[in-house]
Amino acid sequence: MSQHPLSLGRGTVPFSLQENWDSPQVIRRPRVTAKRGGLPARVAGPSSVTRRQFLKRAAVAGGLVGAPYLVPASALGRAGAAAPSERIVLGGIGIGGRGSGDLRWMMAESDVQFVAVCDAKKAQRENVKKIVDEHYGNTDCATYRDIREFLATRDDIDAVLIATGDRWHALASILAMRAGKDIYTEKPSCMTIAQGQAVVETANRYRRIYQTGTQRLSEANFTFANELLRTGRLGEVHTVRAHIAPWDAAEMRHDWLPAEPEPPQEEVDWDQWLGPCPWRPYNSAYVRGGWRGHYDFHTSCIGEWGAHTFAQCHVAIGAADTSPVEYQYVDNPTGDGMVTRFANGMKMILHRGDTWWHGSCGVRYEGTEGWVAVADGYSRPEVSSPALLEDFERVVREYVDRTGAAQSHVRNLFDCIKSRRLTVANPVVMHRSMTTVHAANICMWLKRDMKYDPVKEEFVNDAEANRLRSRAMREPWII
């Protein structure tokens, strides 16, 4: 792949993630060669002996010499535990409130072992270590402040959970994939269209498994709604509606908070906390979550929930590999009511309120034969006719049988790490739905209608909008 992922004006990143990934042969995790004091210098090709093969051979050799009298059941994969050769070794980057929930969700899987956390904040590192050590009943969880050290030295780690703020999601994913790790990253998963392209290109180049945290793609109610649309039970679908967050605005702050004394680096590594963002003076409110609503760090109210609901709509209508071609500006601060239109004429309308559903992160699909709506907290989706719900369990079961996608977002990730198949929220799904987020934001910032070419990945005859597809990244935190 010769094109640089950030060369936006010269073409598009090929979306060929499925290429050679459906082979039953597992792709081995690349070996990392570290450069002292910096990021991994290169990722070498797979060695002739994998870690799992080594463990099996070691076990055989140990048996010839003389096996121990007692072997723990967990080491053999008994008592509900996976054998070491089948375990996925997991690390984490930037695990706070939401990330802690993800962490507990992942550690509940019997074939996952969490071993290390990297975070710019000491208090957060120590909190994660406490959670992990209490879960396993030991003191083994390692902690790191510097992402470069973490990635360069922990070549035993198969996958990483990334739950930083928005500003780090894409860069951390790219650095980790270059270091041979598979990825679960929270959303919104990129700050710009260019970063989304770079994530796709990196996953392609290094053959990494990637899942973004749009977990509703793996929940039965949302799956059922998608299947009603896909199977034609709603008739010809003409409109889908997507929830955006009912706080903050599309227009974000461009000022910064007043300077406060910077804490010791070991307490808060401010340079690493900022990462690729422009240098700003330290203020403790940022590290307590006050970065939201600031252009430097956030993707606006549209990105906050649109990262979920746009992905849901894209997948439902069969547009996982494209984005809308038209964005109609609405004269309000939030984007509420914006109409976007795909090349086939399908409309996706952005809604801030709960007129079309109740609860958070709602979607609604409307066709000539009926409609379905669902959001968080539903026991079953709302439908235009009770008859549409009669086959709920069967529809979800058939989806799982057809796709092999577990109705658990993290289980889907771990299954795909083993099979090397695409996840339901793979890099293309992430990038194309986040492109819609960014294009809607740009439409609101420039206060005019936009036309977008999803093949060339550029706005049509709009140089000002095209400049906003990328942002400068502060060295050394660059792609």
- The angle, 0 to 180 degrees and rounded to 10, between the axes of the packed helices 300-316 and 427-446 is 130
Burial (CB count within 10 angstroms: exposed 0-12, middle 13-18, buried 19+), residue 143: middle
- pLDDT for the residue numbered 81: 63
Supply 141's token pair: 């969880």
Which of 134, 167, 128 shows the shortest CA–CA distance to 150? 128
- pLDDT for the residue numbered 35: 37
Residue numbers in the chain where pLDDT is lower than 50: 1-78
Determine the Cα–Cα distance for residues 159 and 254; give it in Å rounded to an integer: 35
Per DSSP, the chain holds a count of helices (H) and strands (E) of: 14, 17
Place of tokens 């039970």: 233
Determine the Cα–Cα distance for residues 474 and 333; give it in Å rounded to an integer: 29
Determine the Cα–Cα distance for residues 469 and 6; give it in Å rounded to an integer: 10
Determine the residue type at 310: F
- pLDDT for the residue numbered 49: 41
Cα-based angle 134, 135, 137 (whole degrees, multiple of 5): 60
Tens-place pLDDT, residues 68-95 = 334 344 444 445 567 777 899 999 999 9
- pLDDT for the residue numbered 80: 59
| Cα 360 from chain centre | 19
- pLDDT for the residue numbered 465: 98
Segments in 71-157 forming alpha helices (H): 97-107, 122-136, 147-153
Buried b (16+ CB within 10 A) or exposed e, 224-242: bbbbbbbeebbeebeebbb
Supply 335's token pair: 């984007």
Work out whether strand 182-185 and strand 339-341 pair parallel, antiparallel, or are unpaired: unpaired
| Residue 351 phi, psi (nearest 5) | -135, 135
Tens-place pLDDT, residues 229-254 = 999 999 999 999 999 999 999 999 99
Determine the Cα–Cα distance for residues 253 and 445; give it in Å rounded to an integer: 12
Stretch (H or E) spanning 144: strand 142-144
Supply 305's token pair: 């929930």
- pLDDT for the residue numbered 84: 72
Residues 6+ apart with CB under 8 A from 51: 29, 85, 156
Determine the Cα–Cα distance for residues 29 and 51; give it in Å rounded to an integer: 9
Residues 6+ apart with CB under 8 A from 44: 30, 31, 32, 33
| Residue 82 phi, psi (nearest 5) | -80, 145
Domains in the chain and their CATH numbers? 24-42+80-208 (3.40.50.720), 217-250+298-402+424-467 (3.30.360.10)
User: Cα separations (Å) of 135 from 73, 104, 107, 108, 245?
Assistant: 18, 9, 8, 9, 34
